[in-house]
Chain A
Amino acid sequence: MSRLALSLRINGETHEVLTAPHRTLLDVLRDDLGLTGTKENCLEAECGVCTVLLDGRAVNACILLAAQCAGREVVTIEGLARGAELHPLQRAFVEHGAVQCGYCIPGMLLAAKAYLDEDGAPTEDGIREALAGNLCRCTGYQKIADAVLAAAAALRGSRAGGGGCTHP
């Protein structure tokens, strides 16, 4: 079987990967690179647990061939915090009790980040629509929506106070 040599940019680092053409970004992240924060579940782009950012946009890593990601910027949950400093979304999820079993949370956080990068002053309806592709079986979504609203406010505050400085 043929193999492809891919250069993947993940969380700002370049990884050289040799892989079969059919393997997805999700396969390579979890099995080749040990980045298991990106979860695996439905494998049909229905549940959102495998959500990552590709060139800043939320996508389902389970239906994206790794080969399609060569030369593009991928951000996984491992790339969201800055060192020990949690991203404002992560802090808000902790503070609002938005996490129960946690399995859907990496995908929730990245889908929420992509949305807040587009719309810094969202409504709750907008947040619920932006997270419609991410299923959670524990929380009932209210605390997640509350956390994203709070994070949006915190991000606006840090932007206003920081002279245009934005969190990556």
Chain B
Amino acid sequence: MSFEYHEPAAVAEAVALGARFGEAGRFLAGGTDLIIQMRRGKVAPRHVLSLHRVPGLDRIEANGAITLGALVTHRAVERCADFQGPLGALVEGARVVGGHQIRNVATVGGNVVNASPAADVVPVLLTLDATVTCLGPDGERTLPLEGFLTGPGQTARRPGELLTAIRFERLPPASATAFLKAGRRRAMEISVVCVAARLTLDPARERCLAARITLGAVAPTTMRARAAERALEGRPLTDDVLREAGRLAAGECRPISDVRASARYRRLLVETLVPRALRRCRERIGGGA
């Protein structure tokens, strides 16, 4: 590793440096991905722009819509009181990332920009229809998270652009979320498959008004299982309907075989975990079919 080190003290300064160095520069947040990639020689930026002195980026704003600043850590998400209720899958996703040492520094913004298909909080954010805001030399733009993730390690972020915030709305009444992860052990593990779900029921809690089902580690990016979502919306959520969603999700995911698991096993996990996550949402809302 050999690089020039910069410590911008404000967002505007960080963006100006980002614009100046373009592809030769990298923003450093928690460093749990970037420093390791640099040590392995996978990336070799000539300029490292540490963001830790930029004030305000570590804030979680929860007035109405929720905004996660780029430097909000997984530990902060895990401990945020606003995420104890219907948004609880954020806590469930954040708390299975590495150990305390990782979660104390690893940021959700960094996790999004790193764009691992096996990321754990990203599927939860996708169930919340989250957007990401990027600030660059051409100004600010806000994109749906789903479109921002373009491939393994690839995003729509332009060279020099800084991801400043992740935003999502609070959920309507009769909503709940759930996150499940399958790994070879419980801690310090990259997901073999992870699944997040969000359900919103009608006021009588009989029919599904909206469903989101997202899958990690079974496609080049974290993906939404749209056919499975459509199979739920407008219907009473019986166990049969939830199992059907699991079968559809297993059909529409695109897993590969790798060191962690075979593609076939990953599909079996999706078929099992999707209904399980949906049942958990249904139980958390209470009532229902």
Interface set of A (CB-CB < 8 Å, partner B) = 1-2, 4, 20-22, 24, 43-46, 48, 51, 54, 57-60, 63-65, 67-68, 111, 114-115, 129-134
Partner of B98, one of A45, A54, A68: A45
Contact between B187 and A132, CB atoms less than 8 A apart: yes
In the complex, A21 Cα to B3 Cα: how many Å?
7
Chain B at the A interface: mostly helix, strand, loop or mixed? mixed
Chain A residues whose C-beta falls within 8 Å of the C-beta of B52 in the assembled complex: 68
A22-B1, A22-B3, A133-B188 known; A65+B100 contact, CB < 8 A: no
B4, B7, B39, B187: the one within 8 Å of A2 (CB) = B4
User: B63 an interface residue at 8 Å Cβ cutoff?
Assistant: no
Q: Which 8 A-B pairs have the closest CB atoms?
A: A133-B99, A132-B187, A21-B5, A22-B1, A63-B35, A132-B99, A57-B104, A133-B101
**What residues of A have a CB within 8 angstroms of the CB of B75 in the complex?**
57
Binding site for A on B (CB under 8 A): 1-5, 7, 28, 31-32, 35-36, 38-39, 48, 50, 52, 75, 98-102, 104-105, 186-188
Q: A65-B50, A111-B100 are in contact. List 18 more A-B contacts (CB 8 A).
A: A2-B4, A2-B5, A21-B4, A21-B48, A22-B3, A45-B32, A54-B104, A57-B75, A59-B104, A63-B32, A65-B5, A65-B28, A67-B5, A68-B28, A68-B52, A111-B101, A133-B187, A134-B99
Cα-based distance from A91 to B99 in the complex (angstroms) = 25
CB of B99 within 8 A of CB of A68, answer: no
Q: Of all chain A residues, which has the CB nearest B4?
A: A2
Interface-central residue, B2, B31, B52, B99, by most chain A CB under 10 Å: B99
Give which listed residue, B1, B36, B186, contacts A44 with CB less than 8 A. B36
Which residues of the partner chain A approach B102 to less than 8 Å between Cβ atoms?
Answer: 45, 60, 133
* Max chain B C-beta neighbours (<10 A), residue from A2, A45, A59: A45
| B-chain residues with CB within 8 Å of residue A1 when the two chains form the complex | 2
CB atoms of A130 and B3 under 8 A apart: no
* A–B pairs, 22, beta carbons within 8 Å: A2-B5, A21-B5, A22-B2, A22-B3, A24-B35, A44-B39, A48-B99, A54-B104, A57-B104, A58-B101, A59-B104, A59-B105, A63-B31, A63-B35, A65-B35, A65-B48, A114-B100, A115-B100, A129-B100, A132-B186, A133-B98, A133-B101
Contact A45 B101 (CB under 8 A): yes
In Å, the complex CA distance between A44 and B101 comes to 12
Q: Which residues of A contact B3 (CB under 8 A)?
A: 21-22
> Bound state CA distance, A43 and B31, in angstroms?
13
Minimum CB distance partner of B103 in chain A: A133
Report yes or no: B104 in contact with A58, Cβ–Cβ below 8 A.
yes
Q: Which residue of B lies closest to A23 (CB)?
A: B1
Q: Given A2-B4, A21-B3, A43-B39, answer yes or no on A129-B187 (Cβ-Cβ < 8 Å).
A: yes
Contact of A58 (CB < 8 Å), options: B31, B32, B36, B100: B100
